[in-house]
Every structure is written in structure tokens, then in C-alpha cells.
């Protein structure tokens, strides 16, 4: 469940403190293994720029509500920063910082000319009207307009934001900048310069690395039993792709609960019934909890919702042999350690979910050149990039005898570290 009282919020806040410090720990390890001096870590352990904004929005009842938002820019040595904007009640400054750092790692892993950025607004869009959401989206862009732009920092969708919100944000930026500026943001509707394949890109990327991971374990995805946590953009497209490939989706979930059927769920029916926030379980009585879902008997587990889901408390009970992290930060450091010791194959978030930023990059390139590619061209390019990234990280983990997360951090951090050194920053 989404935290809806003070105690839950505090607990969530404490957890997000952990994701920043655990990210720093793995970055430090990765930089040490690569032989970089400590000053490189000092630079990369935090975003170079962090903006906090207060956004007044006139609500439907006539009152004004002031929302708090953030934009973090981790490092712009490689190029403009890039990363999504999250609308969620549990957004914190530390979470946004950690997410921005992960975006730098992803850009390094799939070799994009970007640094990492991320934004977030503390709000619950499920309880806001369309008009209120438009006001909030436009207000956020006005508040951060001086530090963002197509050559500075390029936002995109994330949890509880979508192509409509990107369209409002792009329109607001175009008004401020006094010309039509589609390259300011990615994840737009196709008619406004969006890219074919962007909406399903994260899930497509996850599917590609999941297939590679299954090959390594001699598992045929056709017939494999898969559990997916989260039925939003990432989770629902992924469930559909795997279902169509012959896998049995035995469990799915959203913020309110989970569904389980050992014979396989009817994914097309569930897709038809889900709302725009990825909610579907409210329509059923026979639900289980998200906690129970993660521990279900299955071959592959894909956390595709929020952070800190696999921890020292439940990592011992995970039955899946392969865990592919579609969500950002679903497994804690302790969780990673336990899963690795148990011989599980864990494909980390910074690799598995990098298909989204890859196709966002394609969208930005198409906006800049004013020439648009077909879905097949996008798919082919994405496929090539994801396979290469998986192979590099898997081979690094094998040769160095380290887990895939540390291997991914080593591959991801190298580009931003090198660029910072060439610029003479460290």
C-alpha cells in the first residue's frame, strides 16, 4: 500500500535515506575497483546541482495548495543531464538524488551522451483532477525553467507521470522559451514529437535482458512462471510481452494488492481493466499482499513498482531463480547480498530498466534532426544496445567474480568519471 499516514511516511523516508547511502557505497566500491582516486568519489557521491521548488496550484475548490518539488542534476561532464519526473506522496530529496545518480550510471551503461538527472513532486496524482494536474505540471516547469532545456537537462516520465503530463510540460516550456521546443522533454505523445516505441521501451529493454538472463540459466521463457510487481507502464507492458512470448504470468500487483493464479493470469483482460495509474487489483476480492506476491513460487521475479521491496527480511524467502529489476532500487544492499549468496541471478536496475532512457535518447535525437524513425528501426537499435550492455556487465561480473550490480556500477560510472577527468574537474 502507498503510505497514507505519518508513521508510514516516516518509515518510507528512512528507507529512502538508505537508497542514497547504499548507492554511494556501491559507487565507492566500483571506483576503487577501477583504480580512481578518492576525489572522483567525492565529486560523484552527490548531484552537482539540486533545486528545491515550491509550486502554488489553484485547486478545484478555489483554495491554493503549495506543493514541494525537486530537480537534481547529478553530473553534466558527459552532456546534458536526463531523467524522469516522479509524482508520488513519498518523494524525498534523498530519493531524487539517488535516482539522478542512477540515471548517470544508466547513461554510462548504454553509452548515451548524457549525465543523470531526476525530478519529483510530493503529491498524490490519484487524488487530483485533470485540471489540478495540469496546473501542477506547468507550475513545476516554470519553477525549474532556468536550469532545464534541450541542451541542459531533459525531463521524461516516471512513476505516476505520463505522456499527457509531458505534453503540458513541453507546452509550458515552449511558451517560456517562445518557440516550439519538443526536445525539451521526452515521453511525449507521438503527435507532439514523441517517438515510436517510447511508451513500451522500458518494458522492451527489460524483456531483452530477461531473455538473456534466462539463456544463461538454461531456462526457456516460453512456459516459465513469472511474477511481476507493479502494473504500471513498466509492469503492464512487460507482462504483455512475456505473456505473448508464452510465459505464464502467475502473479501481478499494484499499490493496493496482488493477484495470483498458478495456472497463469489473463493478462489481456487485466490490461483492459487497469486504470491510468496502473491500478487493477481493486476490482477483485481474492487478492494477496505485495509481500506475499514477492515470495510466490516462480522462475522469474520482476519488481516493477517502487524501492526497497527485497530486503534482508524477505530475501531468504524469494523462490525465483532469476530476479530482473525493472523498478529503480527495488532491492536493498542486504537483499542483494543474500540473493547473491543463495546463487540467484540478479539483473540490476541500472541495466535492466535502461531501455526507457535509451529510447528517450532516440526521441531527443529525432527531435533535434526533425526526421523520425519507424518502430522497427527503434526496436532494432534498442535490441543491439541492450544485448551489448547485458553481455559487457555479465562478462565483467564473471571475470571479476562480483555480483552483476557491482559490475553494472563499474561499467556505468567509468564514462562520467573519465569525462570529469578530461574536463579537469578532478
Nearer to ligand NAD, 328 or 420 (CB): 328
Helix, strand or coil, per DSSP, at residue 156: strand
Return the sign of the alpha-carbon dihedral for residues 149, 150, 151, 156.
Answer: positive
Task: Report in angstroms how near the CB of residue 112 gets to ligand NAD at its nearest.
Answer: 13
Q: How far is the CB of 228 from ligand NAD (least distance, A)?
A: 10
Question: What is the DSSP track for 39-77?
Answer: HHHHHHTS-SEEEEEEEEEE-TTS-EEEEEEEEEE---S
CA–CA separation, 132 vs 123, rounded Å? 11
Nearest distance from C-beta of residue 277 to ligand NAD, angstroms: 6
| Measured distance CA(68)–CA(350) in Å, rounded | 27
Return d(Cα 330, Cα 318) in angstroms, integer. 13
Closest CB to ligand NAD belongs to which residue? 232
List 118, 188, 204, 415, catalytic entry: 118
**Quick one: DSSP state of residue 249?**
E
Q: How far is the CB of 237 from ligand NAD (least distance, A)?
A: 8
With respect to ligand NAD, which residue has the nearer C-beta, 306 or 411? Answer: 306
- The Cα–Cα gap between 394 and 352 comes to 12
**Nearest approach, Cβ of 105 to ligand NAD (angstroms)?**
12
Name which of 219 and 386 has its Cβ closer to ligand NAD. 386
Q: Which one, 230 or 412, has the nearer CB to ligand NAD?
A: 230
Closest CA to 156 of 214, 111, 195: 195
Residue number, 40 or 110, with CB nearest to ligand NAD: 110
Give me the least distance between CB of 380 and ligand NAD, in Å please: 19
How crowded is the C-beta side of 168, counted as CA atoms within 13 Å? Answer: 18
Maximum Cα–Cα distance for the chain, whole Å? 62
Give Cα separations from 284 to 227, 256, 257, 259 (angstroms): 18, 11, 10, 8
Residue numbers at the binding site for ligand NAD (CB under 6 A): 2, 157-160, 202, 230-235, 253-255, 278-279, 290, 304-306, 326-328, 353, 356
For the question of residue 118 being annotated catalytic, the response is yes
Q: Which is nearer to ligand NAD, 69 or 230 (CB)?
A: 230
Place of cell 563499474: 410
C-alpha separations of 33 from 58, 269, 413 in Å = 52, 48, 11
The catalytic residue positions are 118
Amino acid at each position: 500500500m502507498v503510505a497514507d499516514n505519518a508513521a508510514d511516511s516516516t518509515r518510507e523516508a528512512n528507507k529512502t535515506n538508505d537508497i542514497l547511502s547504499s548507492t554511494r557505497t556501491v559507487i565507492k566500491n566500483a571506483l576503487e575497483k577501477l583504480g580512481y582516486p578518492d576525489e572522483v568519489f567525492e565529486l560523484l557521491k552527490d548531484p552537482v546541482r539540486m533545486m528545491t521548488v515550491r509550486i502554488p496550484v489553484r485547486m478545484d475548490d478555489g483554495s491554493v495548495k503549495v506543493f514541494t518539488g525537486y530537480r537534481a542534476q547529478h553530473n553534466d561532464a558527459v552532456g546534458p543531464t536526463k531523467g524522469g519526473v516522479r509524482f508520488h506522496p513519498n518523494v524525498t530529496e534523498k530519493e531524487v538524488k539517488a535516482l539522478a545518480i542512477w540515471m548517470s550510471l544508466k547513461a554510462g551503461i548504454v553509452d548515451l551522451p548524457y549525465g543523470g538527472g531526476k525530478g519529483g513532486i510530493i503529491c498524490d496524482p490519484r487524488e487530483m483532477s485533470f485540471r489540478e494536474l495540469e496546473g501542477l505540471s506547468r507550475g513545476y516547469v516554470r519553477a525549474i525553467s532556468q536550469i532545464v532545456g534541450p541542451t541542459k537537462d531533459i525531463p521524461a516520465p516516471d512513476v505516476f507521470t505520463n505522456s499527457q503530463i509531458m505534453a503540458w510540460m513541453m507546452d509550458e516550456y515552449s511558451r517560456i522559451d517562445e518557440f516550439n521546443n519538443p526536445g525539451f522533454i521526452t515521453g511525449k505523445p507521438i503527435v507532439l514529437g514523441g517517438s515510436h516505441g517510447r511508451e513500451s521501451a522500458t518494458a522492451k529493454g527489460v524483456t531483452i535482458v530477461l531473455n538473456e538472463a534466462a539463456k544463461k540459466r538454461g531456462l526457456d521463457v516460453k512456459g516459465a512462471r513469472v511474477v511481476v510487481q507493479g502494473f504500471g507502464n513498466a509492469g503492464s507492458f512487460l507482462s504483455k510481452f512475456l505473456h505473448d512470448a508464452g510465459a505464464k504470468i502467475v502473479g501481478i500487483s499494484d499499490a493496493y494488492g496482488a493477484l495470483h493464479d498458478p495456472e497463469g493470469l489473463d493478462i489481456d483482460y487485466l490490461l483492459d481493466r487497469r486504470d491510468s495509474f496502473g491500478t487493477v487489483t481493486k476490482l477483485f476480492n481474492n487478492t494477496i499482499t505485495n509481500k506475499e506476491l514477492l515470495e510466490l513460487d516462480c522462475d522469474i521475479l520482476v519488481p516493477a513498482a517502487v524501492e526497497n521491496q527485497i530486503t534482508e527480511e524477505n530475501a531468504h524467502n524469494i523462490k525465483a531463480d532469476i530476479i530482473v529489476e525493472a523498478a529503480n532500487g527495488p532491492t536493498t544492499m542486504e537483499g542483494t547480498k543474500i540473493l547473491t549468496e543463495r546463487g540467484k541471478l540478479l539483473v540490476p536496475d541500472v541495466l535492466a530498466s535502461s531501455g526507457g532512457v535509451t529510447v528517450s535518447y532516440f526521441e531527443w535525437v529525432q527531435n533535434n534532426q526533425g526526421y523520425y524513425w519507424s518502430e522497427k528501426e527503434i526496436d532494432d537499435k534498442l535490441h543491439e544496445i541492450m544485448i551489448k550492455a547485458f553481455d559487457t556487465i555479465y562478462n565483467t561480473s564473471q571475470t571479476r567474480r562480483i555480483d552483476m550490480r557491482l559490475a553494472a556500477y563499474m561499467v556505468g560510472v567509468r564514462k562520467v568519471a573519465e569525462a570529469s577527468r578530461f574536463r579537469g574537474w578532478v
